[in-house]
Every structure is written in structure tokens, then in C-alpha cells.
């Protein structure tokens, strides 16, 4: 395999694109089909279906690679009705381009095989070898309310993120559309206006292209917006107060002289939005000492922002460490910003957080 990761990027883009077809279908047909999960975030049948499709494509192309994924099939094995529903959706999720489907290895051979495939995402992660990280639907609450969510896939080699892809069905195709709350709400399916595929390969820059139902659309290079004065910045944060301290974020914004209100949105769509210059800063601030981030919630977005000219660190200014297993256990919080203002933002973050101790 060549080291420019062209084959991996192509498969990742097509796999995510096909998975978004399923997630959009699930939203429109079955938005009420949720299961409870022990970590209290809602799980949808779309999570299971998207994970099955992506792992199936990875196994067809890179059978020896390990996979870290969020879901396991236990709940589906115990719920025949749900299993049948997911299987039906997986069978229907096909790209209209035959060559693209062939690249992804075609259809899964039966519902039980689908369950086995979902359970292949059980790698412990770590610092050696090729490991893919999948979040089949990042931002499940956003997904359920018809807001922002992302289908996320990243390849790490020896703990270093090499390829990142984000499928954001409800972000506007136009990179110049300003960031605002409620953008793309109600899962608008206006053809050509909403739905973006973001990608990056280490050392090769970041790109966006419209999501399509067939082969890949033409890509264009994306870059973070140049910003000379941090007080002019637009910053995004999580919708859920349980994911990020919104009070601390407001204090940091005040310290930086930012007067625009924050834009709250779910998922790694925040990383994608600042990478394309629609926003400037992404603040995810620790809500409690024992909260540990999962690698699949950050790997793709981290690479895409850095390849678009940004810097991504924790609140201490340390790079995110994807080498330690399934979590970012050495990092607290996330600060993503253009390189030239990142240190300024980190300084404000440290001042606000240290004042609380």
C-alpha cells in the first residue's frame, strides 16, 4: 500500500457517503426508533446501520486493519424487531454508482453477518498499527431533532491520524454561508444546498465536496478564515451543557473581547465549520474532572482542522493524544483555533479555568 493514502481516502469517502444515505433515510422514516444506552446518549437504528455499512467497506478493502467503533450489536441480538428494521435499511443503502458500490465490497451477506460486522469495532486502540475509528452518528441528539450530526471516520497509523472524513448531511454546501444556530435545521434535503463531505490526509490539506448519492463529487480545498483580531471571532460550542461548560465559554469569550453570541451545534460539524472558515473557534471545556473524551469523537475533526491551517489542543495547549486506547485520557477539553490566535485563546482559557480553582 502506498503511503499517500489515496486508496484509504477513496474508500473512507465512499463509505461515509453511503452511510449518510442510510442515516437520512432513517431520519425521515424512523426518527422515533431509539434504544436506551448505558451512557445516556440516545442510540438510533441509524447508529447500528451506519456502523455496519462502514465496517463492511473497511473489511472488504483492508481486512487486516483494526477498528474502534462506538456500537456493539448486543441490543440488536436481543431485539428481533429492531434487528430486522436495521437489516432492511442496510440492504436499501446503496450508492447509485455501480463502480463505487463495487469499491465498497457490495452488500452484506445476511442479517446475522451484519451483527458480526457491527461487533468488529472492538479494537482497544493504541499506538501501533493501522486502526480506524468510527462514530456512525456523532451528535445523536442533533440527529433526532433534525439538526447537525456527522458520520465520522478516521485512520490512525501508529497512533497518528493520517486520514479523516466527516459526512455532515445538514450543513450547507456553500463554504461561504455564515455560521448561525439552526443552520440546516429540520434535516432539509434540498438537493445541492445541504450535505457536505469533508476530508483530510496528513500533509495534503483539507477538502470539502457536496454529498452525492452516487460517486464522489468534485472536491475543493478548504482553509480556516484569516483572523487578525480574535475579538472578531465566531466561536462554536456544544448544544449539550453536559458536554461542555457554557458558562466558562462565555467568560473566555468576554476575556477575548468577543461580542458575537456563540453558535451552539452538535457533533464534529463544529470542526468542519471552522475548518472551512464559516466559524473561527471551537471551545469544548471540561464539565467535570472524570469526563474522558472518546477518540472517535475527535480524530477526523482534529486532522481536518489542522490540515486547514488550524491548531487543535486540549485546554493546557497539548496536542490530542490518540495513542492511548479508545479514549483521550491524557487530555481535558478541546480548543481549536487558527494557528495565529490559538496561543491567545489558550491563555484566556487558562485564566478563566484557574480562577475557578
Catalytic positions are 47, 140
Determine whether the annotation assigns residue 346 to a binding site: no
In angstroms, the Cα distances linking 175 to 164, 171, 179, 207, 216 are 18, 9, 10, 11, 18
Determine whether the annotation assigns residue 330 to a binding site: no
Determine whether the annotation assigns residue 135 to a binding site: yes
CB 286 within 8 A of CB 315: yes
Determine whether the annotation assigns residue 137 to a binding site: yes
Apex 202 CA angle, 196 and 207, nearest 5: 25
Determine whether the annotation assigns residue 97 to a binding site: no
Binding residues: 70, 135, 137-138, 297
Amino acid at each position: 500500500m502506498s503511503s499517500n493514502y489515496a486508496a484509504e481516502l477513496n474508500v473512507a469517502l465512499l463509505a461515509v457517503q453511503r452511510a449518510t444515505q442510510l442515516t437520512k433515510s432513517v431520519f425521515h422514516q424512523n426518527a422515533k426508533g431509539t434504544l436506551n444506552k448505558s451512557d445516556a446518549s440516545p442510540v438510533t437504528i441509524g447508529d447500528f446501520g451506519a456502523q455496519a455499512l462502514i465496517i463492511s467497506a473497511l473489511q472488504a478493502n483492508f481486512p487486516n486493519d483494526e477498528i474502534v467503533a462506538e456500537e456493539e450489536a448486543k441490543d440488536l441480538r436481543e431485539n428481533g424487531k429492531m434487528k430486522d428494521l436495521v437489516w432492511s435499511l442496510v440492504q436499501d443503502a446503496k450508492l447509485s454508482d455501480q463502480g463505487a458500490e463495487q469499491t465498497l465490497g457490495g452488500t452484506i451477506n445476511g442479517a446475522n453477518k451484519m451483527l458480526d460486522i457491527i461487533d468488529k469495532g472492538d479494537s482497544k486502540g493504541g499506538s501501533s498499527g493501522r486502526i480506524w475509528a468510527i462514530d456512525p452518528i456523532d451528535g445523536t441528539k442533533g440527529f433526532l431533532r433534525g439538526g447537525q450530526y456527522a458520520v465520522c471516520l478516521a485512520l490512525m497509523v501508529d497512533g497518528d491520524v493520517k486520514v479523516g472524513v466527516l459526512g455532515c448531511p445538514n450543513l450547507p454546501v456553500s463554504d461561504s454561508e455564515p455560521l448561525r444556530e439552526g443552520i440546516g435545521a429540520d434535516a432539509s434535503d434540498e438537493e445541492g444546498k445541504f450535505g457536505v463531505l469533508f476530508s483530510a490526509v496528513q500533509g495534503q490539506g483539507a477538502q470539502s465536496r457536496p454529498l452525492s448519492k452516487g460517486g464522489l463529487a468534485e472536491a475543493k480545498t478548504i482553509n480556516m478564515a484569516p483572523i487578525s483580531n480574535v475579538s472578531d471571532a465566531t466561536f462554536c460550542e456544544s448544544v449539550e451543557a453536559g458536554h461542555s461548560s457554557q458558562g466558562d465559554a462565555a467568560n473566555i469569550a468576554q476575556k477575548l473581547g468577543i461580542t458575537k453570541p456563540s453558535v451552539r451545534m452538535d457533533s464534529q460539524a463544529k470542526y468542519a465549520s471552522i475548518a472551512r472558515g464559516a466559524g473561527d473557534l471551537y471551545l469544548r471545556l471540561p464539565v467535570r474532572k472524570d469526563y474522558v473524551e472518546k477518540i472517535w469523537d475527535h480524530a477526523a475533526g482534529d486532522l481536518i482542522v489542522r490540515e486547514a491551517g488550524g491548531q487543535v489542543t486540549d485546554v493546557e495547549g497539548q496536542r490530542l493524544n490518540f495513542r492511548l486506547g479508545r479514549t483521550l485520557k491524557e487530555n481535558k477539553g478541546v480548543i481549536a483555533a487558527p494557528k495565529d490566535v490559538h496561543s491567545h485563546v489558550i491563555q484566556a482559557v487558562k485564566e478563566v479555568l484557574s480562577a475557578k480553582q
